[in-house]
Amino acid sequence: MIRPYDEPGRQVRPHPDDLAWHRPPEPADVDPAVLGALLHRHGWQRRGGAPGRYGRWTPPGPGVGATSLLVPESRAFPDSDDLLGEALDALARSATPAAREVLISLTVPSDEIRWWRDVPDGPAGAAAWTADEHLRTAARGMLLAAALATRARTGYHGARHRGPAAALLEHVLVSPAAEGRRLTAFVPVPTGRALAVRLHQALYATREAIDYQRATGGMDAFDGAVAAGVSRELTEALTALVRGTEGARVAVAWAPGPGVPDGCATTAEPVEFSPGDLPALHAAGLRYLRGEPSVPVRITGAVVRLRRSGPRGAGTVRLRVLAGAEVPHLRVTLDEEDYRVAGHAHLVGLPVRVQGLLERRGGFRRLTGARGVVPVEVDDAERDRLMKSLQESPGWFEEACGEGDADAYGDGDRA
């Protein structure tokens, strides 16, 4: 293919070995105090060294005593950079997970979130194949619940804010799971500090609400816990973490460089959950689901699908939401006149505006009591863009499609 001379060259994706986190950080970029704090956090043992000048650190675990690092305590001595460089090179060559996790936190200053699951041992100490999957699924659900809570404090999020919340997880790094028993996520401070803080507060609020429920039988504490970020999504993730175990723990450790965020404990102990907490978590999830009200909204959206069983009467449309609600798509049932207006707007590439109730059933993906459908004028460029995107969608016009299209709206519209 011949490229026009004035067209910019295609950007080539960097080779993985060229990425910054595949190389140890430069000694000049490392604070010796931060390196020492990270070594201590990840189980390294200080075994002597010149007080006030450097410490000798050995990795955790048996059989690794021959490996050690000399880490300066400050930059006050001329050989500090040399010692840091040697320590960083040794960490990069080490095959221990403790070394890898220290390097990750040095390269990308991160708050660390750790999960532990006490699962029964299999033959020779092995874990079940599904244990790792359960751990990762629960951990991701917990991170997503915390990300949703940074957008809104509510007992049930449903489909709302899912896009921005998922985007918040894109920069999170993860260490390999240890046989389905242990997992660590590294949440970069610049983009994810709010997520880590919200999860930290929500975990403690959940623990206190469970303790109150088990002591008194009352669920009131869960209502107040919503302000701390507790939601149905978080209780479901905790249920997935605990189910099938003898207990589970979650801890948040703050990045040593940026320090402890306001209102959070300096040294946070892991928050523990047990199978005895499952009934309270289940009841709280149902309480949040039932207590979240439907929301009156005024939606502007592009009609991407239409469906009705015959040439006349009411029908159902699917809108790609442009404004008015924090959901990507909505399913709306319209009477004959509003359906006709929506169909004409669809054909000419115009969005429509409609009022109704954003229904909590189905995860806030349905608009009930819809009325007053009117086309919305847009400029020619926007209309052309909408028309192109609509025509590229499969099944973009499904008038009188019959029962064979029962799943025309896709999984995204299911509860």
Q: Given this model, what pLDDT does residue 332 score?
A: 92
Delimiting residues of CATH 2.40.50.140 domain(s) in the chain: 295-413
317/386 Cα distance (integer angstroms): 16
Q: Which of 327, 385, 325, 394 is nearest to 351 (CA)?
A: 385
CB atoms within 10 A of CB 375: 16
Q: What are the CB-based long-range contacts (under 8 Å, 24+) for 69-72? A: 69/39, 69/44, 71/32, 71/35, 71/36, 71/39, 72/32
Q: What CATH number matches the domain at 295-413, 3.40.50.300, 2.40.50.140, 3.30.450.40, 3.30.70.270?
A: 2.40.50.140
Could you tell me the mean pLDDT of each successive run of 10 residues in the chain, 415 residues long?
38 42 74 91 83 83 68 84 89 84 90 90 68 90 96 92 92 79 92 95 96 95 96 97 94 90 81 96 95 90 89 89 89 91 87 91 87 83 63 46 36 36
* Under 8 Å between Cβ of 287 and 219: yes
Ramachandran region of residue 226, left (φ > 0), alpha (ψ -120 to 50) or beta? alpha
Q: Given this model, what pLDDT does residue 289 score?
A: 92
